[in-house]
Amino acid sequence: MIPVFRPSMGDAETNAVGEVLRSGWIGLGPKTKEFEDKFAAYMNCKYAVAMNSATAALHLAMAVMKVDGGEVITTPMTFVSTNHAILYNSAVPVFCDIEPDTLNIDADKIEALVTPLTKAIVVVHYGGYAVDMDKVLDIAKRRNLKVIEDAAHACGGEYKNRKLGTIGDIGCFSFHAVKNLATGDGGMVTTNDAAIYARLMKLRWVGISKDTWSREDTTTKAYSWYYNIEELGFKYHMNDITAAIGLVQLEKLDTMNRRRAEISRMYTEAFSSNKKIGLPVIKNYMTRPSCHNYVIKVEDRDGLNASLKQQGIATGVHYIPNNNYDMYKGFRGPTPVAGAVWKKLLTLPLFPDLKQKEIELIKSSVLDFIK
Ligand X SMILES: Cc1ncc(COP(=O)(O)O)c(C=O)c1O
Q: Output DSSP code: residue 343.
A: G
Q: What x/- string results for residues 70 through 109 when contact with ligand X is judged by CB under 6 A?
A: --------xx-xx---------------------------
Q: Which is nearer to ligand X, 79 or 271 (CB)?
A: 79
Among 54, 98, 238, 241, binds ligand X (CB under 6 A): 54
124 contacts ligand X (rule: CB under 6 A): yes
Q: Which is nearer to ligand X, 131 or 362 (CB)?
A: 131
The letter for the amino acid at 349 is P
d(CA 107, CA 50): 29
Closest separation in Å from C-beta 282 to ligand X: 19
Beta bridge partners of 216: 223
Q: Which is nearer to ligand X, 5 or 331 (CB)?
A: 5
First to last CA, the chain: 23
55 contacts ligand X (rule: CB under 6 A): yes
Strands 118-124 and 71-74 come out as parallel
237 contacts ligand X (rule: CB under 6 A): no
- Residues in contact with 348: Cβ distance below 8 Å, sequence separation at least 6, in sequence order: 4, 267, 294, 295, 296, 313, 315, 362, 366
Closest separation in Å from C-beta 92 to ligand X: 19
CA 366, 266, 77, 7 dihedral sign is positive
Tell me if 177 sits within 8 A of 3, measured CB to CB.
no
150 contacts ligand X (rule: CB under 6 A): yes
Closest separation in Å from C-beta 221 to ligand X: 35
152 contacts ligand X (rule: CB under 6 A): yes
Q: What x/- string results for residues 276 through 305 when contact with ligand X is judged by CB under 6 A?
A: ------------------------------
229: helix, strand or coil:
strand
d(CA 370, CA 363): 11
DSSP 170-181: EEEEE-BTTSSS
| 179 included as an active-site residue | yes
d(CA 72, CA 121): 6
**Set 31, 119, 146, 179: catalytic member:** 179
Catalytic residues: 179
Binding site for ligand X (CB under 6 A): 53-55, 78-79, 81-82, 124, 150, 152-153, 174, 176, 187
